[in-house]
Amino acid sequence: MSDKAEGLERYVVPGLERGLKLLLEFNRHSTALTAPDLAKRLELPRTTVFRLLATLESMGFVTRQGNEYRLGMSVLRLGFEYLASLELTELGQPVLNRLSQDIGYSCNLVVRDERSIVYVAKVTPPSILASSVTVGTRLPAHATVLGRILLEDLTLAELHNLYPEAELSGYSASTPRKVEDLHAMIVEDLKRGYALSEGFYESSISTIAAPVRDGTGKVVAALGATIPSDHIADDQLPPLVDKVRASAEELSRLLGYRGRIAQ
């Protein structure tokens, strides 16, 4: 353990650490858990878990129905406050608003968290049916067009480190199953300066996406438009691509990017 880590260890509050670890046990696959479930997962006495749950329930971080607990609204509020505090979302929301109004389709801003993409901003025109994708939604990076954009800075070796398995999980017939195939797609996207796919993750959805870079030139987000169709008409495609790329470039400039935009 480093000197810095040892120094931090002295200030760790065990009760707070247990409470936060308890909250992290809830996810989309484990939306409801009982106290015995949590005690087993955390390897803690049931009495300790009951006290932690009572404290978290009193603060609104969990809610109880019968003997099951779920995450409460206080967790959601913290998540939205965090997203709203990001310079990226503050600067990106007006850009998304203008793009969505211009093209008439849903527009999204996503970031990468290891092997997942996370939606941090979204605008949907009133005329478009509500999508199941909302702010906070997580999807597999390798299986989405937006994810391919967010993987552009990684070398083939780095992709292998991120995906050490022999075969990638499949979500549609278009999903790359080998890291080499994923890398080849990313290289082509990088050459074009944008990514386009019809029915890549969902058969009835097409996506156009472009990279958003910060002042260091690093890809920090992907900006995309979602078209509710399995095919984009040939005469519609060029103007849509141009507008998505222009919006991504605008946000990149706002974040301090001064490099050359690929054409």
At position 107, the amino acid (one-letter code) is C
- Assess whether pLDDT exceeds 90 at residue 46: yes
Question: CB-hemisphere CA count at 13 Å for 11?
Answer: 4
At position 200, the amino acid (one-letter code) is F
pTM exceeds 0.85 for this model: no
Same domain, 37 and 150: no
At position 33, the amino acid (one-letter code) is L
How far apart CA 145 and CA 209 sit, in angstroms, is: 7
User: What is the per-residue pLDDT for 198?
Assistant: 61
Per-residue pLDDT reduced to its tens digit, 124-181: 887 655 566 788 888 999 999 999 999 999 999 999 999 999 888 877 777 889 999 9
Percent of the chain residues topping a pLDDT of 70: 87
Residue 229 lies in a domain: yes
Same domain, 47 and 97: no
At position 145, the amino acid (one-letter code) is V
Same domain, 46 and 150: no
Provide the domain limits for residue 67.
3-72
Same domain, 92 and 168: yes
Residue 60 lies in a domain: yes
> Contact, 195 vs 110, CB < 8 A?
no
Counting the structural domains of the chain, the total is: 2
Per-residue pLDDT reduced to its tens digit, 169-194: 877 777 889 999 999 999 999 998 99
Tokens, residue 65: 């129905």
Same domain, 95 and 53: no
Task: Give the highest mean pLDDT range of 92-106, 189-203, 231-245.
Answer: 92-106
Which CATH number goes with the domain that contains 37? 1.10.10.10
Among residues 146, 158, 124, the alpha carbon closest in space to that of 212 is found at: 146
Residue 159 lies in a domain: yes
Same domain, 41 and 122: no
Same domain, 139 and 112: yes
Same domain, 109 and 21: no
Residue 261 lies in a domain: no
- For 38, 228, 256, the CA distances from 43, given in Å and listed in that order, are 8, 46, 47
How far apart CA 14 and CA 63 sit, in angstroms, is: 23
Residue 216 lies in a domain: yes
Which CATH number goes with the domain that contains 226? 3.30.450.40
Same domain, 47 and 146: no
Residue 239 lies in a domain: yes
State which of 19, 49, 72 marks the end of a domain: 72
Rg for the chain, CA atoms, rounded: 21
User: What is the per-residue pLDDT for 130?
Assistant: 54
Per-residue pLDDT reduced to its tens digit, 197-220: 865 555 567 889 999 998 889 999
Same domain, 92 and 61: no
Same domain, 35 and 122: no
State which of 72, 94, 128 marks the end of a domain: 72
Q: What is the DSSP string of 5-21?
A: HHHHHTT--HHHHHHHH
